Amino acid sequence: MSSNAIPQPALVDANTSLLEVRAVAKRFGAREVLKNISLNIAAGEFLTLLGESGSGKTTLLRLIAGFDLPSGGEIWMSGERLDTLPPYKRRVNTVFQNYALFPHLSVRDNVAYGLRVQGAPKKEIPARVGEALHMVKMTEFASARPSRLSGGQQQRVALARALVNRPQLLLLDEPLSALDANLRKQMQSELKALQREIGITFLFVTHDQEEAMALSDRIALLRDGALEQVASPREIYAHPSTAYTAQFIGQTNLLRGEIRRSIATCGVLRWPVEEADGPVLFSLRPETIRLCPDGKRQTHEVKFRGNIRQQIYGGSSELLEVDSGDGQILRVRLSASGPLTGEHDFVFSIADLIRVVD
């Protein structure tokens, strides 16, 4: 699946594009890490590169930052070719995975580093550093050495150190992955608020789909060095174009079946379709299936009788693993309603079936 086949939200058009990645490829020896990546990022957008480890997301980030050179293609920012510039001449700053704070400098000097090396007026520096530290709530730690700080605090300093330079584009390489779960949730919401407040374009790399959903304006899903789908979180969840996307973003049931004479058949499930004959694959989200206590279905619904194999309690909701009788296990998410066992009737709407490709 290439990115240009996917409808892009109105947010992105050629005039407001800040960054353009044009047919970029990267090879390390014989290994093709990125294949023909084209991607536009709009000014002020929060775009997340999502993918498994080894999908090439960090490599793409490093190409944009300038730490590696692309093997093919071009990168442009604000009408200027970026990929031919050394990293220190790009108006791009990075928040590194393990923060990469300078251990021999205080928090204050870490944040001032970019301003100093770029020769900002000496009088301006303390005020801008103070402002950046205030923004990330680290003012009281200005004189501390990074080794004295906790992971979350180092994270804030790394953010301030990058933002103080007022970059056009901020790159964030799995910045929250080293934090524990609670702190991570808190930093997520702070990060999102901060991005909205300062309006700088964020390009965020993560392997955590929940994090991507929570933060992003758009998600670019990478798979084996190619873009699988680029869309807003809602779009990508509601209309995954491939089976891989449907499984990677949230949970889903994949129904593999056959269409013959306008009837789709998948095990015991049958429903009318308006498509040509042949094999098909559908994605059906667990929360679109529900219990049908009276056994009656509407015309646009599909009903089946299922045997509950397992029930996993998740607080506000529960996940059932239901055997539809033909050996096919369907996952069903219900709002928590107490223990269930045995056979029950379930229904789902035909409209919730999303046709996907392998």
Residues that bind another protein (CB under 8 A): 65-67, 86-89, 92-94, 96-98, 100-104, 113-114, 117-118, 145, 147, 161-162, 165
Are residues 63 and 70 in contact, defined by beta-carbon separation less than 8 angstroms?
yes
If we measure between CA atoms, which residue out of 24, 55, 30 comes closest to residue 220?
Answer: 55
Q: Which is nearer to another protein, 103 or 278 (CB)?
A: 103
Name the minimum Å distance from CB 112 to another protein.
10
Q: Which is nearer to another protein, 89 or 234 (CB)?
A: 89
CA 273 – CA 257 distance, rounded (Å): 12
Are residues 236 and 209 in contact, defined by beta-carbon separation less than 8 angstroms?
no
If we measure between CA atoms, which residue out of 333, 340, 338 comes closest to residue 319?
Answer: 333
What φ, ψ does residue 10 adopt, rounded to 5°? -60, -25
**Residue for token digits 């991607």?**
39
Neighbours of 195 (CB within 10 A): 20
Are residues 262 and 273 in contact, defined by beta-carbon separation less than 8 angstroms?
yes
Q: Which is nearer to another protein, 138 or 330 (CB)?
A: 138
Name the minimum Å distance from CB 339 to another protein.
51
User: What is the residue type of 302?
Assistant: V
Q: Which is nearer to another protein, 88 or 140 (CB)?
A: 88
Name the minimum Å distance from CB 92 to another protein.
8
CA 36 – CA 62 distance, rounded (Å): 16
Cα separations in angstroms, 20 against 44, 79, 268, 299, 342: 14, 9, 48, 47, 55
Name the minimum Å distance from CB 62 to another protein.
9
Name the minimum Å distance from CB 91 to another protein.
9
Q: Which is nearer to another protein, 164 or 230 (CB)?
A: 164
Name the minimum Å distance from CB 178 to another protein.
13
Instruction: Give the HSE-up count for residue 100: Cα atoms under 13 Å, Cβ half-sphere.
Output: 12
Q: Which is nearer to another protein, 26 or 223 (CB)?
A: 26
Q: Which is nearer to another protein, 120 or 273 (CB)?
A: 120
Name the minimum Å distance from CB 143 to another protein.
15
Q: Which is nearer to another protein, 66 or 233 (CB)?
A: 66
Q: What is the per-residue burial (b if ≥16 Cβ within 10 Å, else e) of 41-72?
A: bbbbbbbbbbbeeebbbbbbbbbbbbebebee
Name the minimum Å distance from CB 158 to another protein.
9
